[in-house]
Amino acid sequence: MKDSLFQVTKMYWLNKKWDFIASASDMAAEQGQILVIATAAVGGFTLLVILTLFFLITGRCQWYIKAKMKSEEKRRNHLQNGHLRFPGIKTYIDPDTYEDPSLAVHEFAKEIDPSRIRIERVIGAGEFGEVCSGRLKTPGKREIPVAIKTLKGGHMDRQRRDFLREASIMGQFDHPNIIRLEGVVTKRSFPAIGVEAFCPSFLRAGFLNSIQAPHPVPGGGSLPPRIPAGRPVMIVVEYMENGSLDSFLRKHDGHFTVIQLVGMLRGIASGMKYLSDMGYVHRDLAARNILVNSNLVCKVSDFGLSRVLEDDPEAAYTTTDLFQVLTLSLCYSP
């Protein structure tokens, strides 16, 4: 009886031991599987990170190479006519350095179709011809007031270059206190039209020196003069309603407050600082060359005598009358 009980007990504990060993073996197998899965996951993640870094680095290298190529191409393009333009820094380029001055005009000024221009009246005269007021039809079909500088008929090539040089200069500037260039007319021809549709007094001044005289018609009377097709040269700028500062202040002497006059001075100073930052000096800063719009905003104009900063550091500049006019206005302001 004791032997059989001993045998049963022995078998029981042997079975328990075997179950424990089997359980331990199963746990070890499970842990091994988990370890394999974890190792594979870490390896896969590491591989993904490596591939991501690889693509990022190679992509950045390709972007850098392309950017460098573009930068080099821009640098070569900026090295035109002996000038180096630094990216993000706008500097003045002297039109006289171009072998062909017309290239400077086409680079800095927009060509305007003369059919978009309607000249209304003569408002002054300049060194090269008359100045007219008129309207310019914009691409959006809206008309804006403009001033049109014209070149006298029978001009020489040198006069034409000097005339368009000012447009090449103005076209490089973009500032609220610098007169804005709308464009030029150099390529297109006006169709033959009646004088009254263009600008009568302007034509009499000799814009086109081949005007046909009035001629009689059957039944009495005569046809108006007509302009044969010709190629005008014009500079179109924004229209400044109040004209030059000197005549405007003298006409309205004592009508402005100190705040208004100081505002005008600040505008002129802002425009001149902009020109200085561009590396450009205005040789004829005078009240007659400051234009005033309807909002009393003063804008620097007349760049025909201006030059690059480095050209002639000993040149004399005309500034006395500007400060005399403004100082007197400040003294007598209410």
Is 113 designated active site?
no
Contacts of 265 (CB under 8 A, 6+ apart): 326
Q: Could you give the percent of the chain with pLDDT greater than 90?
A: 28
DSSP symbol at 100: S
142: phi then psi, degrees, rounded to nearest 5: -90, 135
Lowest model confidence (mean pLDDT) among 87-101, 159-173, 189-203, 287-301: 189-203
74 annotated as belonging to a binding site for a ligand: no
Quick one: pLDDT band at residue 112, thresholds 50, 70, 90? very high
What local confidence, expressed as pLDDT, does residue 73 receive? 57
- pLDDT mean across residues, the chain: 73
CA distances (Å), origin 177, targets 1, 240, 290: 123, 12, 9
The arithmetic mean of pLDDT across residues 185-189, rounded, is: 75
Rounded distance between C-alpha atoms, residue 277 and residue 172, angstroms: 13
Given a contact cutoff of 8 angstroms between Cβ atoms, the answer to whether 208 and 230 are in contact is yes
pLDDT per residue over 145-155, tens digit each?
999 998 877 77
Q: Which residue has the higher pLDDT, 53 or 213?
A: 53
User: 14 is written with which tokens?
Assistant: 């042997």
What local confidence, expressed as pLDDT, does residue 195 receive? 39
What local confidence, expressed as pLDDT, does residue 271 receive? 94
The arithmetic mean of pLDDT across residues 151-172, rounded, is: 85
SS3 219: coil
Q: Which residue has the higher pLDDT, 223 or 32?
A: 32
Positive or negative, the CA dihedral 277, 148, 156, 112 is: positive
Q: Which residue has the higher pLDDT, 308 or 154?
A: 154
What local confidence, expressed as pLDDT, does residue 51 receive? 81
Lowest model confidence (mean pLDDT) among 48-57, 138-147, 207-216: 207-216
Rounded distance between C-alpha atoms, residue 89 and residue 277, angstroms: 10
Lowest model confidence (mean pLDDT) among 74-88, 100-114, 121-135, 146-160: 74-88
What local confidence, expressed as pLDDT, does residue 177 receive? 96
Does the global pTM surpass 0.75?
no
β partners of residue 93: none
Given a contact cutoff of 8 angstroms between Cβ atoms, the answer to whether 106 and 115 are in contact is no
What local confidence, expressed as pLDDT, does residue 179 receive? 95
Lowest model confidence (mean pLDDT) among 116-125, 148-157, 170-179: 148-157
Contacts of 298 (CB under 8 A, 6+ apart): 177, 245, 264, 267, 268, 271, 290, 291, 292
Given a contact cutoff of 8 angstroms between Cβ atoms, the answer to whether 317 and 283 are in contact is yes
User: 69 is written with which tokens?
Assistant: 């190529």
What local confidence, expressed as pLDDT, does residue 185 receive? 92
What local confidence, expressed as pLDDT, does residue 117 receive? 92
* Domains of the chain from N-terminus onward: 94-188+230-239 (3.30.200.20), 242-333 (1.10.510.10)
Rounded distance between C-alpha atoms, residue 136 and residue 330, angstroms: 37
Of 306, 14, 23, nearest to 169 (Cα)?
306
Of 26, 284, 302, 321, the catalytic one is 284
Quick one: pLDDT band at residue 35, thresholds 50, 70, 90? confident
User: 296 is written with which tokens?
Assistant: 């009393």
Please report, for the chain, how many H helices and E strands are present, in that order: 7, 11
The arithmetic mean of pLDDT across residues 214-231, rounded, is: 44
Lowest model confidence (mean pLDDT) among 97-101, 299-303, 313-317: 313-317
What local confidence, expressed as pLDDT, does residue 317 receive? 45
- Number of Cβ within 10 Å of residue 210's Cβ equals 10
Rounded distance between C-alpha atoms, residue 268 and residue 136, angstroms: 27
User: 31 is written with which tokens?
Assistant: 């842990």
The arithmetic mean of pLDDT across residues 104-131, rounded, is: 87
Of 318, 175, 299, 325, nearest to 242 (Cα)?
299
Q: What angle do CA 261, 267, 268 make, to 5 degrees?
A: 95
